[in-house]
Structure 1
């Protein structure tokens, strides 16, 4: 088998395991209505195991969320910033650890694209329903990346 065939098959296997997922950015960094600290763009979201849209995850299971993003400023460190976007207001997703540098390389460099990966346990007590989740990274008012993703929690 040639070297190129092996690389192609390896890449294809990766695509099968983790689908590129539909998402909206909470704001684009160049959006006039974006707050000043939205100076980062999310370019892709992958959720595993989620071959369908919206992502359906069973309670008591793990889901892996991956974000590809490009910061537009240098930042030493970032925190996980995850919320349920409810009609009554955003509610923080409890139980996630804050230090996102364990999930991506820090410091972040202006214009350098990178990936972030977080494996989350879906608690058995989470109500079954559809959720709009704002999943992102932040560092105070220095930087914020955010993708709005839809998930369905099932029994």
Structure 2
């Protein structure tokens, strides 16, 4: 019985290492406040994003506005130049957020970040914005990544 309990505890601890809070900077969240960011799997920072894989980005934030919709815009910043990253579902209301968004409520935005095989192996900064009805940022975050084979 003790061996099984120990194995279960070990697997739980291993699972916790895959999604750790990510160090990020707020780049202009005017309509909301970011509470936390994590990427799964991302056991080390900067997150190593392997080509051909997909990663889950989770952002917990509190809204300062009411909004009927939310739209995600993602860029990779390379040499100071923002290069668009396509994400499968840019509609925040289909990414874990119950719309309409209400002032003072806390939300957990969840999205998939596919890393295409044609992306170059490079270190860059990801800028992830979620905008409200008025195209103001519910959140804007930046975090470093490294794209690897």
List 4+ stretches of structure 1 deviating above 3 A. 12-17, 86-89
Deviates more, 1:76-85 or 1:90-99: 90-99
1:66 is aligned, of 58, 62, 82, to 58
1:21 lines up with 2:15 in the alignment: no
TM-score between both structures, scaled by the size of structure 2: 0.81
Distance in 1 separating the partners of 2:75 and 2:133: 16
Q: Structure 1 unaligned runs (5+)?
A: 1-8, 30-37
SS of the aligned residue for 1:21 comes to: coil
2:122 is aligned, of 129, 133, 138, to 129
Distance in 2 separating the partners of 1:75 and 1:120: 24
The answer (yes or no) to whether the contact 1:135–1:147 under 8 Å persists in 2 is yes
Distance in 2 separating the partners of 1:67 and 1:146: 10
User: Over aligned residues, Cα RMSD in angstroms?
Assistant: 2.0
SS of the aligned residue for 2:109 comes to: strand
1:151 lines up with 2:142 in the alignment: no
TM-score between both structures, scaled by the size of structure 1: 0.78
**What residue is the counterpart of 2:93 in the other structure?**
101
**What residue is the counterpart of 2:76 in the other structure?**
84
After superposition, what is the alpha-carbon deviation per residue over 1:68-92, rounded to whole angstroms, capped at 9, x for unaligned?
1111001011011111223443222
Instruction: Give the paired residue count.
Output: 136
2:34 is aligned, of 36, 39, 42, to 42
SS of the aligned residue for 2:116 comes to: coil
Distance in 2 separating the partners of 1:88 and 1:53: 20
Q: Structure 2 unaligned runs (5+)?
A: 1-8
